[in-house]
Chains A and B, each alone.
Chain A
Amino acid sequence: MLALDPLLLGDLDLGDVLVVLLKVVVVFVIGLVATMLMVWFERKTISGMQNRIGPNKAGPWGLLQTLADGTKLFFKEDLIPERSDRFVFKLAPYLSFVPAFLVWAVIPLGGDFTGDKQGIVTWFGRETRVQLADPQMGVLLLLALSSIAVYGIMLAGWASGSKYPLLGSVRASAQMVSYEAALGMSIGAVLLLAGTLSTSGIVDSQDGITNWHLVSTGVLPFVIFLIAATAELNRPPFDLVEAEQELVGGFNTEYSSIRFALFFLAEFMNTITMSAVIVTLFFGGPQPLTIDIGGLQWDGDLYLGPLNGTIWFFLKLLVFLYVYVWFRATLPRLRYDQLMNLGWKLLIPASLAWFMLLAAFKLGQDQGWNRVVVGAVGLTVIGVGVALLSAAIKVSARNREREGAMF
């Protein structure tokens, strides 16, 4: 029972500690191997979309290409620019790498969520979860880690002591701070329906495809989350942070060798963990996909015993990893003002409006109000809000036009 507890309160014996240590090692290894394969997957998929072959020399189908690149980076000379702030320059890669790793801790990677089991499995006679830790405020921890990740990029650019990295990091911090609001507010809709902050609790509440809340969170909050997460990851089409044509290499221009490798690792690991978060919040994590249409019934059992949940989780994860690669291969980069307009004038108001509407419906359900009336009043209020917002945007746009550009 103890290994359930993230704070390890109460009486400990050696076995509990060993279970936790085993989980730490497993999560660490999975994280690194998954990142290695992700880099390969991305290069291979993009080359397929661009009618090229891609990496095919190192290992079967080029699978070991990332390993080769990593080894090469280890043996490169580690340069520190003369005008840099040495301490912060060395600190920054770890600030972006450690939060990327910590996100794995709260993601349910498997387990049996059928019936009343709530994802609890028994390992070596001890009840635990296939999840490093299950704190009560797991989702808040995700948000906190994604906001800490800003530091790595911001300080890397500043400490480099040259212009392009500084510009890249100023762009990055503005972008990540802006989209964090939309990210948090779209998660709010999920939390409202799940009624819990714990990630395993959220997965548990999405029992089967009918409980995925496809209408209430599957459309608007999911799309907003996907866009905001892409911006948060600084991936195309929101990769203004390292826009090669404008900023050489962005915030990591001055980095080389192992420090560059850490940034690279963090970037790809963040892509995987963000996809895992999407699967956890919106698509039931390790819950199997059950089919029950007419006479056709399938309970999602893949005949893999205890690995069933994990395989389902990775299958769902793969879909989103592919989506991110697909984005990168097809979408052109946004202009900076388009990026800010999308974030502040569309995503944040839209997620706020949807959250308020859901809250109204939830309150109406508790109080026994008429659904139609609640919906009509809610939509009217949203309509007034949209009208006010667009009026304000129009006024400020007109004023800006009259005064001319400020910069």
Chain B
Amino acid sequence: MSAVILAADDIQVAQNIGFGIIAAIMVIGALKVVTSKNVVHAALSLVLVLSGAAAQYILLGAEFVAVSQILVYVGAVMVLFLFGVMLTRAKLGKETDLDQPKAWLGVPVALLMLGVLAWVLIDGFQDERLPADATSKAAVEISDSVLGPALVPFLALTFVLVAAVIGGIVLARKD
């Protein structure tokens, strides 16, 4: 049955197979993040998940978003994260005190997030489909919309970053 669906005319077989493989890698990586007994291994699994997201963007023809994902999350956020881990507690081998007794609380939170994101995507795009020959948007178009109609949410995001920077300074400095 599924083979029949895949062979239908308007469905791109290669892209679907690619999506499946990458999605499977991402799910396994995500499970590894929470089950790993070593902080650095968990961080590396997270890198795998984030890179998988970038690969999915490439499949959608969104090169710019994919490279930004790599640049920001893999290249900056996770590097800083690993750097922090290394400065403080980078033990080799298994660690025993990583499991939280209240870890099950994460399950409803994760399900809630899944519900919210799925609802936003389904409600936002309805039946809209990406054209099969979609080429990637030029960076100019993206910057025009970020600094045009989407300016307010963009500025709100930058405020979050400024708050994080100020928080970092407050934590790090005594003067």
Q: Which residues of A contact B (CB under 8 A)?
A: 6-7, 9-10, 83-85, 88, 135-137, 140-141, 143-144, 147-148, 150-151, 154-155, 158-159, 161, 166, 169-170, 173-174, 177, 180, 197, 395-396, 399-400, 403
Q: Is the interface of A mostly helix, strand, loop or mixed?
A: helix
Contact check, B175 vs A140: say whether CB atoms are below 8 A apart.
no
Besides A143-B75, A154-B86, A158-B92, 14 new A-B residue pairs in contact (Cβ under 8 A), listed by A number: A7-B63, A9-B61, A137-B63, A140-B64, A140-B71, A147-B79, A150-B79, A155-B40, A158-B90, A170-B87, A177-B83, A180-B75, A396-B175, A399-B175
Query: For residue A174, which residue of chain B has the nearest CB?
Result: B83
Q: How far is the CB of A2 from chain B (nearest CB, A)?
A: 13
Asked if B68 is an interface residue, CB under 8 A from chain A, the answer is yes
Q: What's the minimum C-beta distance from A194 to chain B, rounded to whole angstroms? A: 12
B49: Cβ under 8 A from any A Cβ: no
Q: Which of B61, B83, B174 contacts A154 (CB 8 A)?
A: B83
Query: Nearest-CB distance from A94 to chain B (Å)?
Result: 13
Known: A158-B40, A166-B86, A170-B87. A141 touches B67 (CB 8 A): yes
Number of B interface residues, CB 8 Å?
A: 33
Q: Which residues of A contact B79 (CB under 8 A)?
A: 147, 150-151, 154, 173, 177
Please name all residues of chain A whose beta carbon is closer than 8 Å to the beta carbon of B163 when the two chains form the complex.
Answer: none
* Docked complex Cα distance between A150 and B83 (Å): 10
**Contact call B80/A177, Cβ cutoff below 8 A:** yes
Q: Say whether B75 contacts A9, CB under 8 Å.
A: no
How far is the CB of A349 from the nearest CB of chain B, in Å? 15
Q: Which residue of A lies closest to B82 (CB)?
A: A154
Contact of B92 among A161, A170, A396 (CB under 8 A): A161
Which residue of chain B has its CB nearest to the CB of A169?
B86
- Bound-state Cα–Cα, A400 to B173, Å: 10
Q: Are B90 and A140 in contact (CB under 8 A)?
A: no
User: What is the CA–CA distance of A365 and B108 in the complex, to the nearest angstrom?
Assistant: 55
Is B127's beta carbon under 8 Å from chain A?
no
Check B25 for interface membership: any CB of A closer than 8 A.
Answer: no
Question: Which residue of B58, B70, B71 has the most chain A CB atoms within 10 A of its CB atom?
Answer: B71
B24 located at the interface, meaning its Cβ lies under 8 Å from any Cβ of chain A in the complex: no
| Known contacts A137-B67, A140-B68, A169-B86; A147/B133 CB under 8 A | no
